[in-house]
Every structure is written in C-alpha cells, then in structure tokens.
Amino acid sequence: MSAPRALVYAPQFSAYSYGEAHPFKVERYRLTYELMGHCGLLDFPGTIQVAPSYASRRQLEAFHRPDYLDTLERFSQTDGPQANFRYGLGDVENPVFHGLYDWARLMCGGTIEALRQVTEGGCRAAFSMAGGWHHSHSARASGFCYLNDVVVALQPLLAAGKRVVYVDLDGHHGDAVQEAFYQSAQVLTISIHENGKDFYPYSGFVEEVGEGAGYGYSINVPLAAHSDDLIFEQAFKKVVLPLIAAYRPDLLITQMGADFLRTDPLTRLECTTAMMEYAARAFLATGLPWVAVGGGGYDRLNVARAWTLLWAAMTGAPVADALPLAFVPLARQFTPGALALRDAPHLATPDDYCRAQQALDTCLRFLERRIFPLHRL
C-alpha cells in the first residue's frame, strides 16, 4: 500500500473576514472543503485529515521580527481601527481585525503540520489550503499576507541541513519567499507568474537570480499578460521540471495559487484548471516528498474547483467533469449558471499568444545561457 496523503484543514480557516469589499474571501476554504466532500475526496482510500495547531511564538520568531509580531498581536485584540504603515498593517490591503493574530498563526500552523506529515508522519504528500502567504516579509504585512508560513515552516528542516525546492505557481510573484532565501543555495525558488512590470508586487524579473552563495538559486519566469495553458506548460516543462531534477532536493514544496485562471478578477493570465491538474500530476511524478499550500485566487468558485482538482490529482482519485449535483445550488450563489468542475479548453487570441510566446522565449534564452549551466543543464 502506498503512503497516505494528508489534508490539513480546520473550520476556523473560514471564521474571519477581511471586510465585505476586500477581494480576499476566506469563504473559499469552506467552499473548497465542501466541494471535496461532494466529490467523495474526503474519505478516499489512502487519505487522512489532520487538524493544524497554532504556530508558536518561538516558531514565528525563526523568521519574523519580534517587534512586528508584538504589533500584530496587539492590533488583533480589539475591533477598533488601528494602523502601523511601517509594518504594513491597517491599510486597505492588509486590514486588522479582532482575532487576526491567532487566525494567522493557525494558517501558519497548517503548513507546519503539512510539512510534519511528510517529513515525520510517513505521508507521501500533504496539502494545506490555508497556506501560501508568500508576500509576508519578516517585519511587514503585504499582499493580504501577515505571516510567511512557508519560510517559517522550513526553518527546522534547513537547520538540519536539508535541501528544498520551492515552486510558486501563483499569478503573483512569490517575492517574500524569494527574498528570504535570496542569498542561500539551500532553497531553490522557482516562480512562474504574471510579469511584474505593471503588476503587483512589481518584482520577479528573470534577472533576479540570487546573490552571493544563492546566485543561480532564484529562478523567475515572468509571463506576459494573456499567457494561456500552452505558454504555461512550456515554462513548466522547460524550466521547473529540469531544475527540480538537477537540484535533487530532499523536499518539494509548492504554492498552488488559483489566480492564474482566466476568470480571476485580479490577474490577466488565461490558464484553465487543466494546468492545475497537469502541475499536480507532474509534482507527484517526481517521487519527492511533496507539500502543497494554497495561495491566491479571488474568484471563490474558481479556487474551490482548482484545489479540489489538485487534491484529486494528489490522491489519484477520479472525478467527473461536472460539478456534483448536490453542490450546484451552493456554487450558483457565487457563479450563476455554474455546472462544470473542469474548465473547457481555452486558447489566447493569436496576437496575445504571439506576444506571450516572444516574452517566454526571451526568458528561456536568458535562463539557458546564464542559469542552466550552473545546474549542469
């Protein structure tokens, strides 16, 4: 019997709110979990469910500055308006609300638990949908992110001398994770994202390749707006898979943001759910211990569909193309007329595709000339 897959989940993931007008809707976690249940994925053979614990102050301080954590905790104790823009707290992007600190610690604890299930619990792979807060810096909230769960969770593994590949497929560049390991060869970071030239967080250019001992260990593939599945697949096959194989890590951790989908309201990429399934199967096929975390995604039904397909691919469970009938009434509260679990095939217009292909070819030439030889590729 193969090693089990672990789903890390808690109902409290959806217990808070950034505000009615904010694009980040935490209901997506509940919606994803319910769709998984309707698809028969919560009790599929070879899977387990695990509840996370709260990340401790000691664990958080392995990356985050104490003064930042003090402020985040204090701001979380009341509902009144509070702000400290030096720490990125209290603005429209990163609101503060009662219970925020403990909620963020639970999300961070979910990634810690997923990592533990894979490294100590005998699991083949683990998924914590509430992780992936890749914009949180050591002393600054950013991009709806307050605690950087991946960086925090990896600290004990790195202290033990392990090597890690971090792959970020979110529509936005994984800037704070890259920053944390920019001078280290112990973590190879790879991010495929929409070009930051005019898009948040305005970073992740192909020339950002690391510094010092980390030179050549930060990899970025910025995609032009309107890049579709064909462009994404090329980037994945020509960059992600060869570098994972060449680096030979002890652990693979991936951020699976669902905002690369064509109907996401905050991005301009044109991928479909087929890319989520393709990437998941490719990660599983590496044979590496694998931890997947959530990330972005600002259409709630998109997120639920994409992460349900991700979990199905992780577990090897078959799922139909249509939404389960019992789930359709709930889905239509968010997307009128919703019926499909998988997206229909979609291609960008010829002009958009040509521009996207030219941009990708330019990135590939740079990486093949400057970076691949460092990895003996």
- Give the model confidence (pLDDT) of 139-170 as tens digits: 999 999 999 999 999 999 999 999 999 999 99
User: What is the pLDDT at residue 199?
Assistant: 97
Q: 107 φ, ψ to 5°?
A: -60, -45
Q: Are strands 164-168 and 187-194 parallel, antiparallel or unpaired?
A: parallel
Instruction: Give pLDDT, residue 317.
Output: 97
3-state secondary structure of 347: coil
Angstrom distance (rounded) from CA 354 to CA 185: 35
Query: Which two structure tokens, joined as six digits, stand for 111?
Result: 């990634």
Angle at 341 between CA 9 and CA 297, to 5 degrees: 55
Give dist(CA 321, CA 301) in Å, integer. Answer: 15
Name the residue with tokens 């053979």: 45
Instruction: Please state, in angstroms and as integers, the Cα–Cα distance from residue 211 to each residue in 154, 179, 197, 216, 304, following that order.
Output: 20, 10, 21, 8, 38
pLDDT band at 222 (very low <50, low <70, confident <90, very high): very high
Per DSSP, the chain holds a count of helices (H) and strands (E) of 12, 8
How far is 76 from 377, CA to CA, in rounded Å? 49
Task: Specify which residues 261 forms β-bridges with.
Answer: 271
pLDDT at 1: 44
Residue type (1 letter), 15: A
- Quick: pLDDT tens for 89-138: 999 999 999 999 999 999 999 999 999 999 999 999 999 999 999 999 99
Q: What whole-number distance in Å separates Cα of residue 187 and Cα of residue 123?
A: 22
The tokens describing 334, both together, are: 């968010």
Residue 81's pLDDT band, with cuts at 50, 70 and 90, is: confident
* CB atoms inside a 10 Å sphere around CB 351: 9
Look at residue 292 in the predicted model and tell me its pLDDT: 99
Averaged over 212-236, what is the pLDDT? 98
Dist CA 176 CA 155 (whole Å): 15
* Residue 80, pLDDT score: 82
pLDDT of residue 310: 98
Q: What is the CA radius of gyration of the chain?
A: 19
Q: Looking at residue 79, what is its pLDDT?
A: 84
Confidence of residue 2 (pLDDT cuts 50, 70, 90): confident
Q: Residue 291 to residues 27, 52, 152, 260, 374: CA-CA distances in angstroms? A: 23, 14, 14, 20, 26
Q: Residue 161: CB partners within 8 Å, gap ≥ 6?
A: none
Which pLDDT tens digit goes with each residue over 291-300? 999 999 999 9
Task: Flag whether the pTM goes above 0.95.
Answer: yes
Show the beta-strand stretches assigned E in 34-163.
Answer: 47-50, 125-128
Written as six digits, the tokens of 359 are 């941009």
How far is it, in rounded angstroms, from Cα 126 to Cα 9?
11
pLDDT digit string, tens, across residues 314-336: 999 999 999 999 999 999 999 99
Dihedral, CA of residue 237, residue 240, residue 242 and residue 248, to nearest 10: -150
User: What's the full length of the chain, in residues?
Assistant: 377
The 10s digit of each residue's pLDDT in 32-80 is 999 999 999 999 999 999 999 999 999 999 999 999 999 999 999 988 8
Residue identified by tokens 């990437």 is: 279
**Gap between the Cα atoms of 136 and 88, Å rounded:** 10
| 82 has pLDDT over 70 | yes
CA distances to 28, 54, 156, 256 from 115, rounded to whole Å, are 22, 14, 10, 15
**Cα dihedral sign for 33, 36, 37, 43?**
negative
CA separation for the pair 351, 345 (Å, rounded):
18
- State the Cα–Cα distance between residues 182 and 211, nearest whole angstrom: 6
**Percent over 70 (pLDDT), the chain:** 100
Burial of 255 (0-12, 13-18, 19+ CB in 10 A): buried
Catalytic residues: 135
CA distance 25 to 238: 34
Residue 42 corresponds to which tokens in the numbers above?
């919560």
* pLDDT one-digit tens code per residue, 179-192: 999 999 999 999 99
376 pLDDT above the threshold of 60: yes
